[in-house]
Structure 1
Amino acid sequence: MDAPLIARFDTRRELEAQWRALLERAQGRLDLFDPDFAVYPLGAPDVETRLRAFLQAGGMLRLALHDPAHVERSCPRFLRVLRDYGHQVECRQSPRSLRHLSDSFALADGLHVVRRFHCDHMRGEAAFDAPVSVELPAQRFDALWDESRSTLAPNVTGL
């Protein structure tokens, strides 16, 4: 394993660059949490391409959020990925009792994390090849996941 790489960021551009770097490193598992994913480029063509490649290679994606409205309204590319790979992608919405959670993080393979300290700010940290940095957010994600319910289910209309 490579030596851990830690990078701090405080702009949207830097956040997106670190998030894309995490997507490029992901091989088997992606766990993503954000209150609404409004600052993540889920609808970008390059992200769709990368997610499709990740899922074609057998990856699994879990996305947890408080409010799916932005994704439903503004991320048709992600919704197509969800439709096409619904057996490998699951999205869950947090219960009202957990809507106070205000950080945001993306985890890949138990090795990499990109984390914003608060969803109202871009300030955060990316850690690659750093399983120790992933432990706490992974535990928090699993606890949130267990309490959440399915949302953004792929569906077929017009039949």
Structure 2
Amino acid sequence: MPDKIMVGEHLYNEAMQLIIQSAEHELLIFDQDLKRGEFSSLATYELLQQLLSQQITSRVSIILQDSAHFQDKCPRLLNLLKTFGHKMSVHVTNQSAKHAKDCFILADGKHYIKRIHIDQARFKYAYDDVATVKALHTRFEELTEAIQDTVSITPLGL
């Protein structure tokens, strides 16, 4: 697949689903708030549920800059977090990481989709692009160092 920039919300949603569907073991997701893309859709829920159910070692890690949309508008994903809390995590960055305006999804260390700027539906995606995924994985690790909070589905202390 050529490495070119694609444009359009519909195409972005389709490519996002393809990358999520390609995951067999691990998904790493960085997004500002999950408002763009079809994160609240039944299709995304089913793909993530399948990933988390099929392998004992499968994992989904999400880093957000703001979790309000996730908590208020993504009940299916909250349900997955409740069911698969031992395999799924959702974190919120501190202020130092709020400047990042791109977002990306990494699947199994080899497939990716990267939205170039959150406010524009310009993106790249590829299968078997280990070099690009490695660079984005390094970025994801840097974002984990900026985690301020963890989204929990249970009240503190219970």
Q: Do these two structures clear the TM 0.5 threshold for a shared fold by scoring above it? A: yes
Which residue among 11, 28, 32 is the counterpart of 2:29? 32
| Unaligned residue ranges in structure 2 (runs of 5+) | none
TM-score by length of 1: 0.91
Aligned residues: 154
Letter paired with 2:14: A
Structure 1 gap segments, 5+ residues each = none
Do the aligned partners of 2:66 and 2:92 also contact (CA within 8 Å) in 1? yes
Tell me how far 1:129 sits from its aligned partner: 1.1
Structure 1 counterpart of 2:30, one-letter code: F
Give the counterpart letter for 1:41 in structure 2: E
**Residue 49 (structure 1) shift:** 1.0
TM-score using structure 2 length? 0.91
Residue number in structure 2 paired with 1:48: 45
Q: Is the Cα contact below 8 Å between 1:116 and 1:124 reproduced in 2?
A: yes
Counterparts of 2:35 and 2:77 in 1: how far apart (Å)? 13
Tell me, yes or no, if structure 1 residue 11 matches structure 2 residue 8: yes
- Give the drift of 1:6: 4.1
SS of equivalent residue, structure 2 residue 50: helix
Where do 1:46-125 residues align within 5 Å? 46-58=43-55, 59-125=58-124
Q: Is the 8 A contact 1:5 1:129 kept in 2?
A: no
Deviating above 3 A after TM superposition, structure 1's stretches of 4 or more consecutive aligned residues are 4-8
Q: In 2, distance between residues paired with 1:150 and 1:60?
A: 19
- 1:44 Cα deviation after fit: 0.8
RMSD over aligned CA atoms reads: 1.6
